Amino acid sequence: MLKILKYSFYDLIRSRWSYVYFLFYLLLSSVLLFLNNDLSKAVITLMNVVTVLVPLIGTIFGVMYYYDSKEFTELLLAQPIKRSTLFLGQYFGVAISLSASLLIGLGIPFLLYGIFSSAAIWDFTLLLVVGVFLTFIFTALSFNIALRNENKIKGFGYAILLWLFMAVIFDGLLLISLVYFDDYPLDKFSLIASTLNPIDLSRILILLKLDISALLGYTGAVFQKFFGTNSGMLISIFVLTLWVLIPVYFIYRKSLRKDF
């Protein structure tokens, strides 16, 4: 698995799209810091970008890599290699390479602006942690979609639909539910609903750390009310970890029965 992971990692690192992804975050964070020297405000602005763009890139890259390397995968499967080892190695290679581009692209400008001597270092660290979580989550989800759909067009369509649902449609449905059932106690429902969307959960996690009560929204305020800031953060990280482990487990199970 480590050999396959290493190959997938270096293959993607040499890809021009990895450089584009890295340069985008490098330029974005550099411009934000140049226009506004307040590191905390830059972190808040990047939060809105990271929680939407990172899942989209992870979803597209995961599906694209699976389909583009299909012939090479079939060649490897002719060798005495476990299928689970092959697909998990490819998944971790994609997820780690995307995470490296994100971490380096955002990290360099903040290092140059003295993030280590700033009070915003923990907020920035949490932003990077959330970005890595979202990368691993949506890359795993995209691999699950690709493994279940041999048709490339269907695979890409389902992957984009998944991102669209998580990033946009889910919040709309949740808002409609909160408005429609306004006469009923909705605290527990909001807590459960927020754990079903890693994008919302990541946003709440960052806002809890920043302690910006005006921006927390209904679900974030409920998190803070029920669990407090520290407990809410720990629960959020635990649920995000489950969001990584469960799709990875399904990759493992599906790979055992995958027929080429």
pTM for this structure? Answer: 0.88
CA 71, 73, 74, 80 torsion-angle sign = positive
For the CA atoms of the chain, what is the radius of gyration? 19
d(CA 201, CA 207): 10
Buried b (16+ CB within 10 A) or exposed e, 100-135: bbbbebbbebbeebebeeeebeebbebbbbbbbbbb
Q: Per residue of the chain (260 residues), what is the pLDDT tens digit?
A: 677 777 777 777 777 778 888 899 999 888 888 887 777 778 888 888 888 899 999 999 889 988 888 887 778 777 777 888 888 888 998 899 899 999 999 999 888 887 777 777 888 888 899 999 999 999 999 999 998 888 889 999 999 999 999 988 888 888 788 777 777 776 677 778 878 889 988 887 777 766 554 455 555 566 666 655 667 778 888 999 999 999 999 999 888 776 65
Question: Residues 6 or more apart from 164 whose CB is under 8 A from it?
Answer: none
H or E element: which one contains 144? Answer: helix 121-148
Q: Calculate the dihedral angle through the C-alpha atoms of 100, 43, 214, 244, rounding to the nearest 10 degrees.
A: 10
Distance of CA 92 to the CA centre of its chain: 13
Amino acid in position 29: S
Domain positions in the chain: 2-257
